[in-house]
Amino acid sequence: MARANREAFRAARERAQKTREVFGISHQVRDELRTLQDRAQDSQVGQGPLVPVVAEMEVEGEEWVYQSVDEDTLEELSHRVVLKTNAGERRELFCTRTLDEAVSAASRIVEFSDGVVLIETFDP
């Protein structure tokens, strides 16, 4: 009986140790996510208000729906952000009003993409 008690006690200590390890890992993950959330909130504050630009074209089912962008909005845009993938494909992502906005957005995109982010100016 004493042997069974020792084994039960040993098993309980092992479970407690595993539980402490799991808690330690979960606290590390929580802290990393908190840091990520804080960075996201800081960048959102620095980003300022976004200006909606309506898509020129949307695909709904098998239908292509063309839309137009207000001319005043187009005149305010000055830079184009383009993603060039490792496969050599070129994809225009969006346009911005200023170089600072384009650089800020491109620096965020570079962190998550596997390609080169280009910033192009519109011809005057």
Do 73 and 115 reside in the same domain of the chain?
A: yes
d(CA 8, CA 11): 5
Do 20 and 70 reside in the same domain of the chain?
A: no
Tally the domains of the chain. Answer: 2
Do 92 and 62 reside in the same domain of the chain?
A: yes
- Contacts from 83-90 at CB under 8 Å and sequence distance 24+? 83/109, 83/113, 83/115, 83/116, 83/117, 83/118, 84/115, 84/116, 84/117, 84/118, 85/113, 85/114, 85/115, 86/114, 86/115
Do 62 and 112 reside in the same domain of the chain?
A: yes
- Residue 117 pLDDT grade (very low, low, confident, very high; cuts 50, 70, 90): confident
d(CA 39, CA 64): 38
Do 64 and 108 reside in the same domain of the chain?
A: yes
pLDDT in tens, 47-88: 666 666 656 666 777 777 666 667 787 788 888 888 888 788
Do 74 and 108 reside in the same domain of the chain?
A: yes
pLDDT in tens, 26-42: 888 888 888 888 887 77
Determine the structural domain holding residue 3 and report its residue range.
Answer: 1-48
* Of 10-14, 33-37, 43-47, the least confident: 43-47
CA distances from 17 to 6, 10, 21 (A): 16, 11, 6
Secondary structure (3-state) at 6: helix
